[in-house]
Each structure stands twice: as C-alpha cells, then as structure tokens.
Structure 1
C-alpha cells in the first residue's frame, strides 16, 4: 500500500510536466471556446447519461476549426475531469459551504472542470482556471453565482495541496475511493474479490497515463516491420505489445485516421487483452464463424485476418449504428469474408442452427475491466446492473450455442472482472448447456495463461498486461449420440 498519510502534492509531483506558467492563458479566446465545449461535454456525460467517447467524437466532428492543440486540450480536460471526479468532488466539498450534491448541475460541472485544471493541468495558470470558470458562469446565465464559483476556486487554489485525505488506517475503502477516484461500491467489490494489495494495483492501473493506445496488426495486409516503419515515419512512438507479437502500443499520434497504417487497414484499434478471443479461435480458411455481438468489429476482423480473408464470418449486432461501425472498419481493412446483419442476439435464427465451427459470444457486460479508458463506466454502472446483465447473458447463450455444429467451439468473453458475469457464467454454461469446457492451454500459449493454464477460463486483470481487464472461457459442443 502507498503511504496513507502522504499529502496529495507528493503524489502529483511525478505527474506534473512543468511549472504552471504560460500555456493556455496565451490563447484565451480559443481556449475559452474550448472550455465551453468541455462544459457541454460534461453536461452530456455526467448529467444526461451519454457516453464520453461518443460525445467527444460528436463535438470534434462538428468543431472542424479546432487545431491539434485545442483538440488535445478539450479531450484531456473532459476525460481527465471525468476520470478524477470522485477526488475532485471530495476536494470541492472541503472548500465549499454548499456540497457538490446540492449544487446546480451546471455550476457543479464548471467547478469540476476548473478544479481539474488547478490540480492536474500544469500548463494552465491557477488564475486562468478561476477566471475562465467565472466567465463560463456568466456566459451560461449563472451571473448571480459567479461569486460563489470564484470563492470556492480561490479556496481550492490556496489550500488544496494541504487537503487532508481519508487515512487508510481509519477507513481503507474510503481512502482508496478518494485517492484513486473510484466509487466506494466498486472498491468494496474489488476488495472482497482480490484483497487490498491487488485492489490497489487494479485501481492504480486505471489511472495509468502511460498506457497509450493498443493496435493489432492485420498481418495478412502488411508485415509488422512495415507497419512499425510507417508509424515511426509519421513521428509515432511505438512499443511492442506485452501479450502477443501482433500487438503494438502507440503514443504521440495526433489523429488516428491520418496515420498511413490505419488508413490502409494495416492496423485495428483493439486492446491487447481482448486479442485472446481471436488468438484462441480454432479456425482455418474453410471455417464458418458467427460473432453475435460484434461491434465495433475488432474480433471479427482479427479472425478474418487469421483466416486470410477466406471462409465465412457472420457478424451481428443490435442496432443499425453498430452495424455501420463494423462496416466502416471492414471497408477500411478490406476484408470481404465478413457478412453483416442487424440482429438481436436474444432472438434465435433457425437457418443458422448447427452451421458454425466457432461462435464468438463477447456479450454485453458491466465493463468494470475497461474503466482505464472509459472512465464514465464507473459512474453509469450500478451494483444491480451486474445481476441483470448476468441474466441477459444467459438468455443470449441459450440461443447462440445452438448455432454450433457438434464439436464446434463457443468462445464466451466479457470486458469485466465481475465473477457473476465471468467464472459463475462459465460454471453455468458447463452445467446447463450441452457444452464441455475446453482447456485454454490447447488454444493459447502458457505465457499468456500464467496461473490460469490449468483452469477452464482466463481472467486478465487490468494491472497484469497494462491494458483492460478481460475474461475468456471456451466450450465445445458435445457430439450427438
């Protein structure tokens, strides 16, 4: 455990990149407009329940005049504020007479954005963070509250480095919740599953700013050497993946769609942990595969690449928007052996019965393993959602296993680390469906499996590979008597 009595400044010094001078204040007109966009994004995500990635994508598509620096500022401000929201609210409550929970929603978001800048954005002078927050209050019809906003933020500027955080010895769950900005119910759940040390490792990994973005190389489209050379030629920092040789991690890349390797379909954005599905798929160039919840298409494309564009993959998802997203990735990568269908996986398709060699069931889940790059999940997911999702998963599984030929393989996966959706589901599948567990060491290298080599499933924890948490279990349909 970290020093529970250390002051916040001790933790943040290693995250700062420089003294608070210059930076955003020199382009006040542009940055003011970006802060307004950040406020609109925070309102959409934290008050209206929209997803952060979709909101930012929409704003950036609409605001074509933003240069690279403005785009980076907007994304850092919104994503960082959401990521640190539990801690930020704790700090605001220390220095505001009116608790965060009782503040007007827009005032709450203005304060959150400003406090994040004060605590975590070195290039923004404290005075600029305060002044621009007051300006936001005025331009959004909150003039009577500009004094309140200014007063709270001035207190934060003066005193936040000495804020007394909850002590681990007195309340470990509360300490970890504030320190790592995680709702207490999730911390409690992780503590019960993994104990304090593993829990802290998971929480720390969610805040890892060095993780970059993970790419999978489409090796039937280009060699890994050519892909790496192309990325580096465009100034991208490239590192090897940690689990699989066809994975890369990149940073310093600007717009992804401007990279030659992405534009030509040589790479697919896909967290390395999730590559275990495609790597485990026992396919050849004659295989028939059904991917029942396929968007955005990474796993289908991975398997298509593994099949060298041959065979047949049926990729389905619930909405037109999700199917369109898969189609866009297929057009970019150039795979023609994937056929798309808008379909609800809880509805059985009789024509597909016993036609598939492999069924990929990467099902809707609580997403507790992907908080590291989708921080809004920790506020949207509630404890009761996990049981409801487990019920939904079973309904889907009762349908989709029937698509398997006798002897065919079901790959069940999630991006969560909740036992109800993972280990308990694997046990249910083995007990209730005419499927038998497949030892994953027959499908994946032991270097990936580790201590799970002798188990019928693989649980990748967020801290293990520097990426997402992920779960996989494999089953074979029993031969008919």
Structure 2
C-alpha cells in the first residue's frame, strides 16, 4: 500500500481538528470527504478509516511517538508514522517522515501492550471505573471488543419489504449482505459501502441500525393500535422500528428536547412510509404533563455515557469526563421519575441505554423503584448486552409494568 500525499494531508488536517479543536470525528470526516470531487471510494475509505484508527488508538500512538496534546502538525505526522509501522504500511520518502525509528516503535509497542490502559488506549479514570463496575475480567474483554471496528448492520423496513427481498435488491445494486439468524429484521454488510446512495435506501426499504439497538423496540412488546410514547426519540431509529412493528396502526408520539432531531425524524418517517408517527418538541413541562397516564407503552432511551458504542464513536473516549457521568446519572433518574408518569395503569415502560455500566443501568432502575414515582411499578425483565459477547453494541434495557 502506497501513501498518497493529498490523502495523508487531508487525514492530518482532520486529526488536528478532532484532537485540538474538540470537533466530533464523524462531522469532521464527513466534511473532509467533500474536499476533492476526484477522490474515489478507496481514497475516501482510506481517509475515514485511517482517521478513525488514529482517534481510536490516540493514547497508545501518542505514547509511542512521545508527543503530548495539543498536537503540533509534526506530532500528528509522528503518530501517523507509528500507524504505518504497526499496520505494515510502507513509509514514504517525505521530509515529514524522516528518520522514523521503526525498531524503537515496535519495541515500545511490545512494552506498552502489557499495560491495559495503553494497550486498549483509554484514559486512566475510565479504565478504573470500568474495572470497578464490571470487574477486571469482563472489562478487559469488553474494552478489546469496543476497540474493534463496528460492523454495518441495517434493519429491513417491514412496512415496505422483508429481509430476504431486501438482500436481493441490495445484491442487484452490488452490495452483499448476510442475514443474522438471531435478529429477525437485520442484515449485515459483508463489506463497508456507501449504502445511502442506493435506490433501496432512497425508497425507504431499510434503516442503518445496530443489531443490539434493534432489540429495544422488540423488548417494548407493542401491538398494532396502541398508543406509544418515545420520550427521547432523537432522529428516530427506534421510533421507526416501533412504527413497523405496529404495522402503522395506532399512534406513536415522538418527543425530544432538540427540534432539529425531530425534523430529521419527520424526513425519515416520510421515506419509511411510517404514517402513525407524530413529533412533539419538549419546549416546556406542559408537553409531558399533557400526556400523563395516557400511554400503553413508554420508551425512555435515556441519555448516557455511550460506553457501549465506543466502537462506532471512538472519540467519545477522549470527550467524556468523570463529572459528566455524575451529571448524566442524575439526569437519568430525573427523566425516569418524570416521564414514567406518562404510562397508564397496566401499561409498560422500557428504560434503555447504550452503556455497559451498572451505575447507569440496573442501579438506576433499582433507585427509581424506591422513589415516589416508581412505587407503582414492578420490574418484569431486564437485559444486558455486552459487546464482547454479542459482537455488536453494548446495551441495557429494562421493562417495568405499572399496576
């Protein structure tokens, strides 16, 4: 593999923006890929995958390259040199890569690989927290799984197609998939590709949604004709899944505090042919109060640390701070206490997060059940999904019934 100057420079620019300006990796990469119309799919995938790789292994590579933040341009080239050596990529004869100490890089890698926080490239506090909450053995396995590249999984939109039909149509457009036996609506891409350009996507036949995330709507136990409220709907991945499971019958009210996310949800619902979705922006407490005691099912897909989805958001490792976790746990409990009031008698509430930490999951549910708002609820079942066991995102979900 030969490195091309313009692709390398684009990657270095992207890394500088992500590390030094605190920008989100996905947004920076999306912008970077639009820089040159002449780039083909291989060029784009080099930029995206190399950038994500160096973001994922930032701590390890910086330690080997002996550089510290904020990174100067030459520091980023040193980190890219480490990437080249460890990936077996030929280092080009450019001034930026002069005197790259290949043997020292390999030696340092072997030495640091014995220490988990370097080997898995993670901040000290996060490593300590994960070990405290999950135990040394599980956390070690989980970290390793969360550092691998996430597979691309899609969900067939049952309002318009079946997984079998979808697989055939995608194959006709040059995209090969495998069906996932334990996930009834999921297909996994055999190779990464820009599926958003396909006619199948434009026709609303599928949504990109991780296999673990697809478990949440199934866990809701919805029936056609019900009234369902998705309280933290965001751009609506789970809302649209619920619409398909309800066969477009009944009503889904999608709430969020971010109006721009709900706009995106409306657009996606239109494409998916989901006609039973109504969006409402939470701009005051009245929005929630109006819905008290009215829903058969309520989903709280709570804001969380996102530690279960580090394989697709590796920059979250460097953005998260310990004090954010304390704040988010308080927010989760407040949301549970407030939004649970939307459930009617005999109705069910599902609390879900994309975190693997018990303090955001099981412990929050137990706390909620001891509150005034939680006294009428009982826990029916809960499910923890670890990345190391499933091969997909880490998730948690709990189903509670209101008596």
Task: Determine which of 55, 60, 72 is the counterpart of 1:82.
Answer: 55
Unaligned runs of 5+ in 2: none
- Backbone CA RMSD of aligned residues: 2.2
Alpha carbons 2:19, 2:71 under 8 Å: kept: no
Alpha carbons 1:429, 1:435 under 8 Å: kept: no
Structure 2 residue matching 1:353: 3-state secondary structure:
coil
Alpha carbons 1:318, 1:345 under 8 Å: kept: no
Provide the C-alpha distance between the structure 2 equivalents of 1:242 and 1:462, rounded to a whole number of angstroms. Answer: 17
Unaligned runs of 5+ in 1: 1-22, 26-30, 94-98, 135-148, 169-174, 441-456
Aligned equivalent of 1:384: 323
Question: Residues 16-95 of structure 1: matches in 2 within 5 Å?
Answer: 23-25=1-3, 31-61=4-34, 63-93=36-66
Aligned equivalent of 1:125: 90
Larger radius of gyration: 1
Provide the C-alpha distance between the structure 1 equivalents of 2:237 and 2:208, rounded to a whole number of angstroms. Answer: 7
Change (3 A) 1:353 1:471: same
TM-score by length of 2: 0.92
CA deviations 1:92-133 (Å, max 9, x no partner) are 12xxxxx424x654443333234223322x4x42125xx27x
Shift of 1:45: 1.8
Change (3 A) 1:193 1:243: farther
Change (3 A) 1:377 1:223: same
Provide the C-alpha distance between the structure 2 equivalents of 1:43 and 1:284, rounded to a whole number of angstroms. Answer: 49
Provide the C-alpha distance between the structure 2 equivalents of 1:328 and 1:65, rounded to a whole number of angstroms. Answer: 30
Provide the C-alpha distance between the structure 1 equivalents of 2:322 and 2:281, rounded to a whole number of angstroms. Answer: 30
Change (3 A) 1:65 1:293: farther
Aligned equivalent of 2:398: 473
Alpha carbons 1:213, 1:271 under 8 Å: kept: yes
Aligned equivalent of 1:196: 136
Alpha carbons 2:228, 2:251 under 8 Å: kept: yes
Number of equivalent positions: 400
CA deviations 1:263-303 (Å, max 9, x no partner) are 22221111111122100112222111111111221100010
Greater mean alpha carbon deviation, residues 258-267 or residues 287-296 = 258-267
Task: Determine which of 132, 147, 154 is the counterpart of 1:207.
Answer: 147
Aligned equivalent of 2:188: 249
Shift of 1:466: 0.3
Alpha carbons 1:265, 1:333 under 8 Å: kept: yes
Change (3 A) 1:273 1:345: farther
Task: Determine which of 395, 410, 415 is the counterpart of 2:334.
Answer: 395
Provide the C-alpha distance between the structure 2 equivalents of 1:216 and 1:317, rounded to a whole number of angstroms. Answer: 23
Aligned equivalent of 1:28: none
